[in-house]
């Protein structure tokens, strides 16, 4: 009840503000983004001071190194945030586009106009740059946003949101357009997820625990940003040089991301030609390899892979490898163990490639490309708010377009229903 009393006026305020955003001109939205970019650079020192408070708390609580790294701001990261804001400003306004207008037999013209979704709640963990990214994408798409960041980044987030609010104020936009929740109890999140009379969409970004909690609790539609257990299948007719390059890239370029490869499947014909060299190179790069019995033949450092390994998103320099006898076996493995995130086949066979594209179910299915390329920038969406693992509304990288809804618009001349 106490949380409801805290959240309700806040959500109502945000909803009211979001209605104002729907009809804001592109110029005003862009000017706000440019102003935030300026303010970030201007107030760099204060931002770093607040970030330092978070870092001290984090160290006091013995947070793991990877999390501290993600929490850390510095001049370069602040400049990147500012540059990101300018990039979003440069993207075309996604609102007000009319798609596929057609004239119906009765003479009325019918099309679909892109409109904002309304009020979006984003629940995320420690990275403070997500705060600015999310707020800027929501503003550009005319959506109000409620941000619920992790407690680790509380001071940094409050400072960043303060600067965003300053810019909104300068253009007479109600501050409720970007709302930050600084209560960090789990009960607050639970209560927030009941506010379906105000909030139109919830986007959780984080670990499995967070995603599970949100989908089980929420009365509001959810678009998940869940895990990626991605495979590369090296076919019998692969270009082996290409396979080598792509496998190394997909595993080692940034192993902690959701689109990194976790399991390599390789056709038995290609295995003896590729594995000796590939295993050596992976080993040199510090990758721990867990392989099927066949794989183990090609390197004494290969540990045995078990059922659990094939089910695990390592997010680390660990790779499962399995030799398969056919593309069918590979696709059955992907269907059983994959998370429908990113799947790639390396092949020179037209038929095998097209078959893989058609039959494999994932947010992105690729021929001869690294899974690491499943990304909003790489796919040409401009900025992205994350990679959706939902099947509804948005799947894969979510850009500005995926932050819109539609309304049918009808230009009539007196039509009635006969």
Minimum CB separation of residue 360 from its own copies in Å reads 8
Tell me the number of residues near its own copies by CB under 8 A. 72
Sign of the torsion formed by the C-alpha atoms of 387, 389, 395 and 400: negative
Residues in 69-108 at the binding interface with its own copies, rule: CB under 8 A? 96, 102, 104, 106, 108
Minimum CB separation of residue 409 from its own copies in Å reads 5
> Nearest-CA neighbor of 190 among 207, 212, 173?
212
Q: Where are the alpha helices (DSSP H) in 285-344?
A: 293-296, 307-310, 327-337
Residues in 165-224 at the binding interface with its own copies, rule: CB under 8 A? 196, 200-201, 215-216, 219, 221-223
* Residue that the structure tokens 């959701």 belong to: 258
Minimum CB separation of residue 151 from its own copies in Å reads 26
Q: Which of 59, 185, 285, 391: binder of its own copies (CB under 8 A)? A: 391
Minimum CB separation of residue 173 from its own copies in Å reads 17
Residues in 363-382 at the binding interface with its own copies, rule: CB under 8 A? 363-370, 372-375, 378-380
The encoded tokens of residue 380 equal 């040409």
Which uninterrupted H or E stretch holds 164? helix 154-170
| Cβ-contact 137, 88 below 8 angstroms | yes
Minimum CB separation of residue 262 from its own copies in Å reads 16
Q: Which of 22, 28, 68, 190: binder of its own copies (CB under 8 A)? A: 22
d(CA 246, CA 261) in angstroms, rounded, equals 10
Distance of CA 236 to the CA centre of its chain: 33
Q: Which of 161, 362, 383, 398: binder of its own copies (CB under 8 A)? A: 362
Specify the residue, 36 or 334, whose C-beta has the smaller distance to its own copies: 334
- Decide if residue 408 touches its own copies (CB under 8 A): yes
d(CA 220, CA 75) in angstroms, rounded, equals 38
d(CA 351, CA 358) in angstroms, rounded, equals 11
Specify the residue, 34 or 379, whose C-beta has the smaller distance to its own copies: 379
Specify the residue, 155 or 205, whose C-beta has the smaller distance to its own copies: 205
Q: What are phi and psi of 93, to 5 degrees?
A: -65, 120
d(CA 370, CA 360) in angstroms, rounded, equals 16
Specify the residue, 188 or 364, whose C-beta has the smaller distance to its own copies: 364
- Decide if residue 335 touches its own copies (CB under 8 A): yes
d(CA 375, CA 383) in angstroms, rounded, equals 9
Minimum CB separation of residue 373 from its own copies in Å reads 6
Q: Which of 253, 325, 326, 351: binder of its own copies (CB under 8 A)? A: 253
């Amino acid at each position: 009840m106490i949380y409801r009393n805290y959240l309700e006026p806040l959500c109502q305020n945000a909803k009211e503000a979001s209605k104002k955003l729907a009809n804001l001109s592109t110029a005003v939205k862009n000017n706000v983004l440019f102003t935030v970019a300026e303010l970030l650079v201007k107030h760099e020192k204060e931002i770093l001071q607040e970030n330092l408070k978070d870092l001290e708390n984090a160290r006091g609580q013995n947070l793991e190194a990877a999390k501290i790294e993600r929490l850390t701001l510095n001049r370069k990261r602040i400049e990147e945030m500012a540059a990101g804001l300018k990039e979003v400003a440069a993207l075309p306004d996604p609102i007000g586009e009319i798609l596929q207008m057609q004239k119906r037999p009765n003479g009325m013209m019918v099309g679909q106009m892109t409109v904002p979704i309304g009020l979006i709640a984003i629940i995320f963990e420690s990275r403070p740059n997500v705060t600015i990214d999310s707020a800027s994408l929501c503003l550009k798409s005319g959506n109000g946003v409620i941000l619920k960041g992790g407690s680790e980044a509380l001071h940094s987030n409050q400072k960043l949101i303060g600067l965003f609010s300053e810019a909104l104020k300068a253009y007479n936009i109600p501050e409720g357009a970007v709302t930050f929740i600084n209560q960090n109890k789990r009960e607050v999140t639970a209560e927030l997820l009941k506010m379906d009379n105000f909030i139109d969409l919830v986007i959780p970004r984080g670990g499995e625990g967070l995603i599970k909690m949100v989908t089980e609790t929420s009365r509001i539609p959810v678009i998940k940003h869940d895990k990626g257990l991605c495979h590369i299948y090296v076919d019998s007719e692969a270009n082996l040089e290409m396979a080598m390059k792509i496998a190394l890239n997909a595993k080692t370029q940034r192993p902690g991301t959701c689109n990194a490869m976790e399991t390599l499947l390789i056709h038995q014909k290609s295995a003896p030609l590729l594995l000796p060299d590939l295993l050596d190179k992976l080993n040199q790069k510090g990758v721990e390899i867990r392989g099927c019995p066949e794989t183990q033949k090609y390197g004494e450092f290969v540990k045995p892979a078990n059922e659990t390994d094939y089910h695990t998103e390592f997010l680390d320099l660990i790779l499962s490898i399995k030799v398969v006898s056919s593309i069918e076996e590979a696709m059955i493995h992907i269907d059983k163990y994959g998370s429908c995130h990113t799947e790639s086949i390396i092949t020179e066979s037209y038929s095998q490639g097209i078959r893989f594209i058609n039959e494999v179910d994932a947010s992105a299915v690729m021929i001869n490309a690294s899974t690491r390329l499943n990304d909003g920038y790489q796919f040409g969406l401009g900025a992205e708010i994350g990679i959706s693992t939902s099947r509804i509304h948005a799947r894969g990288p979510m850009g500005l377009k995926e932050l819109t809804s539609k309304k049918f618009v009808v230009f009539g001349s007196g039509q009635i229903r006969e």
